[in-house]
Amino acid sequence: NAGVTQTPKFQVLKTGQSMTLQCAQDMNHNSMYWYRQDPGMGLRLIYYSASEGTTDKGEVPNGYNVSRLNKREFSLRLESAAPSQTSVYFCASSEALAGWIITDTQYFGPGTRLTVL
Amino acid sequence: SQELEQSPQSLIVQEGKNLTINCTSSKTLYGLYWYKQKYGEGLIFLMMLQKGGEEKSHEKITAKLDEKKQQSSLHITASQPSHAGIYLCGAEDAGGTSYGKLTFGQGTILTVHP
């Protein structure tokens, strides 16, 4: 039982390059999330997926796209990387289902450190 | 949207000392989570508080949610170097179909000197 896994752990890109961050969970969770963490700003939600086949924007979605490939996997794509996207990216998952379940623990992956030059 | 303010932003203590980290919300908290993060690693869930006045403890860490559900505190008793890290509070967006979306505070960096 690996929990939430992310690849790669580190990545350096040049401005304008594209890349996809991969995330997978083996806990049969319904909801998955992508956050970015920047110094002094805590974690901010980029996109989330409440169930397989659905995705929604979070607080800072600009410059990103996501795909909920199946129940296990949720990928984050940077189409044209910019220095402002230098950050640590975390994927998380929870059992939360569509509806009124409002208190549910999120489990986090180890993060991807991305630097855009 | 909900905003969470943590204080202090950083804290340096001597091993064995007690300490408190606060998390204040601009709105009523429906679910308040405390996470710990070690440098370069992911977040580790510590505990979740839901009811006004609720208090939970795990080993030497105690978290409380005030009666009005707008402030939470995390208290560490007899701190140890293993307690060092970044502590983050997170809260559910207010009710409804939030799908577990969390808003986080900016984090408190704790350093414990042996």
CB contact under 8 A, A43 and B90: yes
Mean pLDDT of chain A: 89
Q: How far apart are CA A25 and CA A52, in angstroms?
A: 13
Distance from the A87 Cα atom to the nearest Cα atom in chain B, whole angstroms: 12
Beta strands in B3-113 (DSSP E): 4-7, 10-14, 19-25, 32-37, 43-49, 55-58, 61-65, 71-76, 85-92, 102-104, 108-113
In the structure, what pLDDT confidence band is assigned to residue A105 with cuts at 50, 70 and 90?
confident
CB contact under 8 A, B97 and A99: yes
CB contact under 8 A, B45 and A110: no
Q: What is the pLDDT along chain B (114 residues), one digit of tens a residue?
A: 668 999 999 999 999 999 999 999 988 877 788 999 887 778 888 888 888 888 988 889 999 999 888 999 999 999 999 999 999 999 876 554 556 677 889 999 999 999
pLDDT digits (tens, 9 = 90+) for A8-41: 999 999 999 999 999 999 999 888 999 999 887 7
Burial (CB count within 10 angstroms: exposed 0-12, middle 13-18, buried 19+), residue B16: exposed
B21, B99, B109: which to substitute to probe chain A, counting the most A Cβ within 10 Å?
Answer: B99
Confidence (pLDDT) at A15: 97
Distance from the B43 Cα atom to the nearest Cα atom in chain A, whole angstroms: 6
Of A96, A108, A113, the CB nearest to B100: A96
Burial readout B94-112 (b: 16 or more C-beta within 10 A, e: otherwise): beeebbbbbbbbbbbebeb
For residue B15, give every residue at least 6 positions away whose Cβ sits within 8 Å of its Cβ, in sequence order, or none.
B79, B80, B81, B112, B113, B114
Q: How far apart are CA A30 and CA A50, in angstroms?
A: 6
Cα B52 to Cα A60, B67, B106: the distances in Å are 31, 4, 23
3-state class (DSSP) for residue A3:
coil
